[in-house]
Amino acid sequence: MNNVNPKSLIVIFGATGDLAKRKLFPSIYRLYQKGKLSEEFAVVGVARRPLSNDEFRRYVSQSVEDSTKQELSDPSFVSRFYYHSLDVTSAASYQELKTLLERLEETYRIPGNRIFYLAMAPEFFGTITSHLKSEGLTATNGWKRLVIEKPFGHDVKSAQQLNKEIRQSFSEKEIFRIDHYLGKEMVQNIEVIRFANAIFEPLWNNRFIANIQITSSETLGVEDRGRYYDHSGALRDMVQNHMLQMVALLAMEPPIKLTTDDIRNEKVKVLRALRPITHDEVDQYFVRGQYGRGFIRGQEVVGYREENSVDPQSNTETFVAGKLMIDNFRWAGVPFYIRTGKRMTEKSTKIVVQFKDVPMNLYYRTSEHVHPNLLVIHIQPDEGITLHLNAKKSGESMKTTPIKLDYCNNCIDGINTPEAYEKLLYDCMRGDATNFTHWDEVAASWSFVDPISEVWANTKAADFPNYEAGSMGPKKADELLQKDGFHWWPLNGTM
Ligand code: BG6
């Protein structure tokens, strides 16, 4: 692995799309500013619409300025951006692109290292990768890598088909499947918190942990993505990837070493140990929701069925809560509760590890109850950890009071956490696939999710919409924990 200033040519398909504009160009700019790109790099934007290089460069500048809220200080940055208008099905169009890549590699002395980043609709993934091979763009003297955005299929069968197609042109080691949660600072911190602290790992099992709760809530609705989202839903959009990846990181065994393969092997084992949910059991373990009208920060917002490009009778879920059981020695009997949804009370991703109660409460006479110990991992927007303990209430006999030990990662002056895409792009340039999803993980997570989506697709949710925009989801999501004697820990202030 090359650790410094990797020399590569980045080819972005879907260069006029939302992801490129909001995430990719600003991330490349930050890497450039931090000196993490070689002086000799170039980016080729590829999309259907015709644009000149100058027009494209203005587009890139604008995207960087929108993101940094500053004028571009170094105009030479955009001079390395080139544009190619591509018809994805035309061999001749790929030939022209090939000529452009060869010319730029010569100009910028890039030794044939090519990143093909597919930031576009998945239906073209197969067509593009097969043309990249047939037209000779993958036959390069350096390395070639394919970066691919989700959704990777919409069930295990379609994912297998897609994988088969792209594997004709790229080997598994050359495929970097993005799950941007794996680029988040505090998601990456889960392993360090667990494996670098003597106080947690001995307790990290079913003897001491009562349950684990993962919540990823959003205030946004579907915005302008109704067409995609109405065929996807929260289960495919968030659970199959981001939520299950966090479960895997929390539940995996310590890897032998911190190598890509060792970590992945442990994550895959967790995904394979998830107790499969049969069609009959879906209602027992999973809850779906869809938002109706409501208020977000005082502003009235429409219900999901009234959103643009959404079927007014839509049966698509915008909220999912679930109880996952991991059938292995470490986790037998410990529920992992997950929930995620759009148009909820606040934008927040948090993990709460609830430890079992002390074996005997000595303080029951003096205080109502001793609070359970909690370890809270704040993923976003705050980044940090909080440990909830009990201590003596000052002054008053032997009463207990809950206290918190807090560490805030993004409060430290001068530390500006890099954006997930910035880290992932850099990892890809250096050939580090640790924070990307391996095919085995994709396959295992679709296998878990498929029976749930099958049942939901075939049964109309009679109670939709069943939560108000601006709330924490349907009541049934609370009942899921109440049945087990637990409740969701609140996400705000007190945590
Ligand atoms: C994406 C989903 O993968 O993750 C979106 O497609 C969702 O629907 C987004 O809004 C959430 O990401 P983040 O980083 O804002 O939590």
Is 206 in the same domain as 325?
Answer: yes
Residue nearest (by alpha carbon) to ligand 1 atom 14: 181
Is there a domain that residue 94 lies in?
yes
Identify the pLDDT of residue 414.
55
Task: Please check whether residues 122 and 190 belong to one and the same domain.
Answer: no
pLDDT in tens, 328-342: 999 999 999 999 999
In a domain, residue 371? The reply is yes
Q: Report the C-alpha gap between 69 and 63 in whole angstroms.
A: 10
Whether residue 414 sits in one domain with residue 267? yes
The two three-digit tokens of residue 480, written as one number: 């899921």
Confidence (pLDDT) at 366: 60
Same domain, 248 and 103: no
> For position 278, what pLDDT does the model report?
97
Q: What is the pTM (predicted TM-score) of this model?
A: 0.95
pLDDT tops 80 at residue 101 = yes
Domain end position, chosen among 99, 128, 149 = 149
Residue 6 pLDDT = 80
Structure tokens at 270: 């967790």
Confidence category of residue 418, pLDDT binned at 50, 70, 90: confident
Q: Quick check: CB of 174 below 6 Å from ligand 1?
A: no
- Does the residue 41 lie in any domain? yes
Q: E strands within 2-157?
A: 9-13, 42-47, 81-85, 114-118, 144-148
Count of domains in the chain? 2
Residue 279 pLDDT: 97
- State whether 132 and 233 are in the same domain: no
Ligand 1 atom with the smallest distance to the CA of 179 is 3
| Strand 42-47 with 9-13, pairing | parallel
Which of residues 132 and 410 earns the better pLDDT score?
132
Ligand 1 centroid–CA 228 distance in Å is: 13
**Do residue 137 and residue 190 come from a single domain?**
no
The CA 238 to ligand 1 mean position distance, Å, reads 7
CA 351 – CA 377 distance, rounded (Å):
5
- Arithmetic mean of pLDDT over the chain: 94
Q: Is the pLDDT of residue 386 over 90?
A: yes
In a domain, 157, yes or no: no
User: Is 392 labelled a binding residue?
Assistant: no
Boundary residue ending a domain (149, 167, 201): 149
Q: Please check whether residues 144 and 190 belong to one and the same domain.
A: no
Pair 383, 409: CB distance under 8 Å: yes
Check pLDDT > 70 for residue 3.
Answer: no
The pLDDT assigned to 400 comes to 85
Percent helix, strand, coil in the chain, to 5, is 40, 20, 40
CA of 305 to the centre of ligand 1 (A): 20
Per-residue model confidence (pLDDT) at position 365: 63
Query: Does residue 86 carry a pLDDT above 90?
Result: yes
- Are residues 30 and 423 in contact, defined by beta-carbon separation less than 8 angstroms? no
Is the residue at 372 inside a domain?
yes
> Which residue shows structure tokens 């890509």?
260
Q: Check residue 226 and give its pLDDT.
A: 94
**36 and 132 in a common domain:** yes
For 237-254, what is each residue's pLDDT tens digit?
999 999 999 999 999 999
Q: Tell me how many degrees the CA angle 258-262-263 measures, rounded to the nearest 5.
A: 70
2 pLDDT more than 50: no
User: Average pLDDT in the 131-143 region?
Assistant: 96
183-213: pLDDT as tens digits = 999 999 999 999 999 999 999 999 999 999 9
- Of the candidates 242, 378, 388, 438, the residue annotated as catalytic is 242
Q: Is the CB of 419 under 6 A from ligand 1?
A: no
Q: Note whether residue 158 is domain-resident.
A: no
Mapped onto helix, strand or coil, the DSSP state of residue 175 is: strand
Whether residues 354 and 451 fall in one domain: yes
Give the residue from 149, 174, 196 where a domain finishes: 149
CATH code for position 120: 3.40.50.720
**Per the domain annotation, does 257 fall within a domain?**
yes
Percent of the chain with pLDDT over 70: 96
Q: Are residues 87 and 235 in the same domain?
A: no
The larger pLDDT score, comparing residue 308 to residue 492, is at 308
> Mean per-residue pLDDT for 134-161?
96
Q: Determine, yes or no, domain membership for 155.
A: no
Distance from the alpha carbon of residue 25 to the mean position of ligand 1, in angstroms? 18
Give the number of the atom of ligand 1 that is nearest the alpha carbon of residue 225.
8
Active site residue 242: yes
Q: Are residues 143 and 223 in the same domain?
A: no
Which residue's alpha carbon is nearest to atom 15 within ligand 1?
218
pLDDT at 419 over 90: no
Tell me, yes or no, whether 70 and 136 share the same domain. Answer: yes
pLDDT band at 393 (very low <50, low <70, confident <90, very high): confident
**H helix runs in 121-274, sequence order:** 125-134, 156-167, 185-195, 226-229, 233-234, 244-251, 260-273
Atom of ligand 1 nearest to the CA of 220: 10
User: What is the pLDDT at residue 368?
Assistant: 62
CATH number for the domain spanning 381: value is: 3.30.360.10
Q: Is the predicted pLDDT of residue 66 greater than 50, yes or no? A: yes
Question: Is residue 103 annotated as involved in ligand binding?
Answer: no
pLDDT of 367 strictly over 80 = no
- Domain ranges, residue 117: 8-149
pLDDT of 1 > 70? The answer is no
